[in-house]
Amino acid sequence: MKEFNLNTLVRKNILSLQPYISFRDHNEFNAPVMLDANECPFGEFNRYPDSTQKKLKKKLAELKDVSSNQIALGNGSDELIDLIIKIFCEPKKDAILMMNPSFAMYAFYAAVNENEVLKLDLDENFEMVKDDFLKITKEREIKIFFLCSPNNPTGNSVEDIEFFIQNFDGIVVIDEAYIEFSGNKSGIELLNKYSNLIVLQTFSKAWGTAGARVGTAYASEEIIRLINTVKAPYNVNALSQEVILNLLDDKNKLKENVDSILKERAWLEEQFKAIECIVKVFPTDANFFLIKMKNVEEVYNGMLEKEILTSKRAPAIPDCIRINIGTREENEKLINVLKAIAS
């Protein structure tokens, strides 16, 4: 196992920070009369949620084969990204590294925290160049490296991911928002091997509950303690916890969602071959396609006119549109509109 002294990476004020601990959660105290938290005595959701999310973590621990103490929950993965940067990066001093192009929120939260954002440009196949990675990590002191795999917006998975973990002396965050669509092994399996590793997952994509806003972080117990120290006390609300708990009770839901999306992904890929305005469909391990178009503005606006909203990727990726997989009805409408635009 590659060992790190986390104390050398964590901001000094975070090390001395005392977490907010609810009396109820700390003491596992449950009483019929609760007059301690200034709540309203009326209403279905009048009580504060469990700030430690014990039931949800217990189920996730069983599902992922980790300890409950290796799990932190967030208001979406976005909150967890923000917390990780706050924990390890000193404002106006430290830097993060991210793939380019990749998920924009890594740079956003670094900017909010006044941290420098270094970008590792991907090659023409949207893969990282190892020599470029070694060069920038040798020349610059970097606290966090964000790896998105499968990558958003390109759709491909990171090859030889352990190489990048082994050759980075800070915190490595693997964002696996789309892992269920890829068939790849999760980085969670590497947690016992690398103490500087954090793996992010979400219920927003394959699980179909983006509206619930629940993300998960898997890491060493030491890192999870730091996240739980910095997070807001009641960051995952009672309704969202209930939704996800019920979802985890449905053993077939995830498989049904993924199987349906993969079936539609294959169908769409075949349909795209006959559309003249499409120049290239990039390989994808996710629930979306990155597509290079002729006359991309015309195509994008033509879809908008027909009430189909897609994601134009210029200027970061010229001439490209990201299109995620919908229902068969939505996908058929997409294909018919693209055919009409191309004709």
pLDDT at residue 24, as a whole number:
76
Assign 244 a pLDDT band (cuts: 50, 70, 90).
very high
Beta bridge partners of 324: 288
Give a yes or no: residue 1 inside a domain: no
Which tokens is 170 given?
Answer: 């800070």
Residue 22 — pLDDT band, cuts 50, 70, 90?
confident
Asked if residue 1 has pLDDT above 60, the reply is no
User: What pLDDT, in 10s, does the model give residues 116-137?
Assistant: 999 999 999 999 999 999 999 9
Q: How far lies 132's CA from each of 136, 157, 266, in Å? A: 6, 18, 34
Q: Work out whether strand 197-202 and strand 215-218 pair parallel, antiparallel, or are unpaired.
A: antiparallel
Task: Of 14-28, 122-136, 237-251, 292-306, give the lowest mean pLDDT range.
Answer: 14-28
One domain for residues 183 and 82: yes
Give the pLDDT mean for 221-228: 97
pLDDT in tens, 152-206: 999 999 999 999 999 999 999 999 999 999 999 999 999 999 999 999 999 999 9
Q: Are residues 96 and 187 in the same domain?
A: yes
Q: What angle do CA 16, 237, 257 make, to 5 degrees?
A: 115
Same domain membership, residue 177 and residue 76: yes
Instruction: Quote the mean pLDDT of the chain.
Output: 95
The pLDDT assigned to 32 comes to 76
What is the DSSP secondary structure assignment for residue 138, as one 8-state letter? H
More confidently predicted of 32 and 164 = 164
Q: Is 153 strand, coil or helix?
A: coil
Amino acid at 295: N
Q: Print the domain residue range for 240.
A: 6-249
Tens digits of residue pLDDT in 285-304: 999 999 999 999 999 999 99
155 near 291, Cβ under 8 Å? Answer: no
Average pLDDT of the residues in 229-252: 95
Where helices occur in 183-231 by DSSP H, the ranges are: 221-230
Amino acid at 90: E
| Local confidence band at 27 (pLDDT 50, 70, 90 cut-offs) | low
- The residues near 182 (Cβ < 8 Å, ≥ 6 apart) are 150, 157, 285, 286
Domain boundary among 224, 249, 274: 249
Name the amino acid, one letter, at 113.
Answer: N
Does residue 213 surpass a pLDDT of 90?
yes
Residues 275 and 232 in one domain: no
Predicted pLDDT of residue 23: 74
pTM for the whole thing?
0.95
Average pLDDT over residues 226-253: 95
pLDDT at 30: 66
Same domain flag for 227 and 161: yes
The reply to whether 225 and 258 lie within a common domain is: no
Instruction: Give the tens place of pLDDT for each residue, 45-71.
Output: 999 999 999 999 999 999 999 999 999
- Residues 173, 50, single domain; the answer is yes
Q: What are the C-alpha distances in Å from 200 to residues 73, 78, 264, 332?
A: 10, 10, 26, 33
- Cis peptide bond upstream of 150, omega within 30: yes
Quick one: pLDDT at residue 28?
Answer: 60
| Alpha carbons 339 and 130: distance in angstroms, whole number | 40
Averaged pLDDT, 23-38: 75
Q: Taking 70 as the threshold, does the pLDDT of residue 2 lie above it?
A: no
The proportion of the chain whose per-residue pLDDT surpasses 70, expressed as a percent, equals 97
- CA dist 341 and 304 (Å) reads 12
312 and 190 in one domain? no
Starting at the edge strand found earlier in the chain, the sheet holding 197-202 runs 71-74, 215-218, 197-202, 171-175, 144-148, 95-100, 116-121
Give the mean pLDDT of 201-216.
98
How many domains would you assign to the chain?
2
pLDDT beyond 60 at 241: yes
Q: What is the pLDDT of residue 26?
A: 62
Check which CATH number belongs to the domain holding 55 and give it: 3.40.640.10
List all residues 6 or more positions away from 91 whose beta carbon is below 8 Å from its beta carbon.
Answer: 113, 114, 115
Q: How confident is residue 34, by pLDDT bands cut at 50, 70 and 90?
A: confident
Whether residues 227 and 286 fall in one domain:
no
Same domain, 241 and 298: no
Mean pLDDT of 223-239: 96
